[in-house]
Amino acid sequence: MISRKTLRDFWGRHADAEQPLRAWFHEAKTADWASFTDIKVRHRSADPLPGNRVVFNIKGNTYRLVVRIHCGARIVFIRFIGTHAEYDKTDAATI
């Protein structure tokens, strides 16, 4: 997982995101996601994006988390974490 610090910094500014992000991090750290289908089984609201990116809804869609996943290497890169409004202002397919 690259980089937990990004999540910690975010929940430092948004305390209500701490527990949902900790739970997501723990699951992602131990997950064996070989494809988007594996992610969708557990995260029904997750959506695929171009470039092996996935957007997760955090805390009932209050926050959005975009990660890039290299399934073969089992590496997850955190590309964006922000409010729903901040997400709407980004091009999640290129971040």
Amino acid making up residue 57: N
SS3 call for 27: helix
User: Is 4-88 CATH 1.10.20?
Assistant: no
pLDDT given at position 22: 94
Reported as a single tens digit per residue, the pLDDT across 15-59 is 999 999 999 999 888 888 888 888 999 899 999 999 889 999 999
pTM: 0.90
Q: Is 14 exposed, middle or buried (0-12, 13-18, 19+ CB in 10 A)?
A: middle
Reported as a single tens digit per residue, the pLDDT across 68-85 is 988 777 789 999 999 989
